Amino acid sequence: MFSKVTISLFVVMSSLLIFNILSSLNTNYVLGFPNFGAAGDWGCNSNTKSTVSNIQSHSSPELVFGIGDYSYTSTPTCWLNIIDPIKSRTRIAIGNHEDESSEGFSSYLSAFGLSKTYYSFTYGNVRVIVMDTDHDSYSKGSSQYNFVISELQKASTDSNIKWIIVYMHKQMYTSSNTCSSSSCSNTGSDATNLRNIYHSQFGKYGVDVVLNGHVHNFQRTYPIKYDSGSPSSPIVTSSASTDYFDPYGQIFALVGTGGVNIHALSGKSSWVKYQQDDRFGALDIDIQDNGYKLVGRYYTNDKVQRDVFTITKTGTTTATYSFGPSLTLSGKEATSTLSGQDTSVGVSGGNIDAKNGQNQNNVKQPGQPNGQGKGLKCEHFTQQGPVRCRTS
């Protein structure tokens, strides 16, 4: 026979165990690995309804990113009615079709409880920054600029944040298309200003994915980094088709296929991996593998997956480094600047991707002659510039 004390102790311990399990499950749900839907340029028609159904059918996302341009009327009413099943989960960016009072600007802010047109939030291990390309100034030194840079800085140093996603209405890069507005071109003033002001900052602070709309088709780039010498032609940092491991650069997805109409593509830019202009659809973003893998899938409204990409982070410690006449580094990766023609770089395992002077770096790996570092990859530039280093 068990004593009353033994039975009571058993009940207490069992209750604590059940509580801990439920608490763990609840934590994983609230702070776990979310799924997001995303689309812009919606309209109020049957295509829009299909987009909502499309988004709902894939993983039932915790949040939906509205990438601007919604009702295309003087009020948001028709669009709000269509998206009612997902409205409570939707977070909007302001586009050029709701940035004026005559287009229902204040009604959009009220409907989504916004006091500003740019803001940020954290969901699980993802930091999301929403920008405004149409109503408030985004120029360097503006309130929005200062906010974005501050948020990027905080996210990049927060050990709980593994992913940074930025979305805004107007695009930074695009393939040529039949949209009649100069704002839809790759060399328009908005695209030029946005990338010149922000793309290098996205690289500096480790942004992973950038979402845009405005051009009414779908485009997904390779990982790309800003090219100050030719800003309208970003540098492709990985030519892989689908899977990217610790990529250097951002993947830009232009998701202007919410339903209003299509802008036909008239060419394909070299930095674009996949594009399509004959179906409406939405992007699905899923965080997997204990938070270290991001999977992006583009589904058209016939529920067919047309594109997929993955970004995997190794989970190793961020690199530390110091430099004077030489660069010393440890950990996963480091980015810095070296100047002069004779700078040495010391590598302990792994590989290095660096730029220095007119010639390849003088790379020293312990126990090996100069220039024989494991997996060495060097580029060229003039006088000074960024150094990309990785070690394992």
In sequence order, which ranges of the chain are alpha helices (DSSP H)? 4-31, 46-57, 77-82, 105-111, 143-156, 189-194, 200-204
The C-alpha atoms of residue 68 and residue 17 are separated, in whole angstroms, by 47
The pLDDT-based confidence of 84 (bands split at 50, 70, 90) is very high
The more confident residue out of 358 and 45 is 45
The more confident residue out of 357 and 176 is 176
Classify residue 89 by its DSSP letter. G
Q: What is the mean pLDDT of residues 34-39?
A: 98
The more confident residue out of 20 and 23 is 20
Q: What is the mean pLDDT of residues 22-37?
A: 56
Contact 378, 360 (CB under 8 A): yes
- pTM to 2 decimals? 0.76
Please tell me the least confidently modeled range out of 190-194, 305-309, 345-349: 345-349
The C-alpha atoms of residue 169 and residue 65 are separated, in whole angstroms, by 11
φ, ψ of residue 305 to 5 degrees: the values are: -75, 120
The pLDDT-based confidence of 342 (bands split at 50, 70, 90) is very low
Identify which of 187, 204, 309, 192 has the alpha carbon closest to the alpha carbon of residue 251: 309
Mind listing the pLDDT tens digit for each residue in 236-257? 999 999 999 999 999 999 999 9
Q: What is the mean pLDDT of residues 170-185?
A: 95
Query: How high is the pLDDT of residue 33?
Result: 85
Q: What is the mean pLDDT of residues 194-222?
A: 98
Q: In what order do the strands lie in the sheet with 326-330?
A: 320-323, 326-330, 344-346, 362-364
Domains in the chain: ranges and CATH = 32-312 (3.60.21.10), 320-390 (no CATH)
Tell me the two tokens of residue 111: 């409907």
Mean pLDDT for the chain overall: 81
**Position 71, amino acid:** S
Torsion angle of the four alpha carbons 241, 253, 64, 78, in this order, in degrees rounded to the nearest 10: -130
Query: How high is the pLDDT of residue 24?
Result: 34
**Position 282, amino acid:** A
Rg (CA), the chain: 24
**Position 363, amino acid:** V
**Position 376, amino acid:** L
Whether residue 3 has pLDDT greater than 80: no
Burial class (CB in 10 A: 0-12, 13-18, 19+), 258: buried
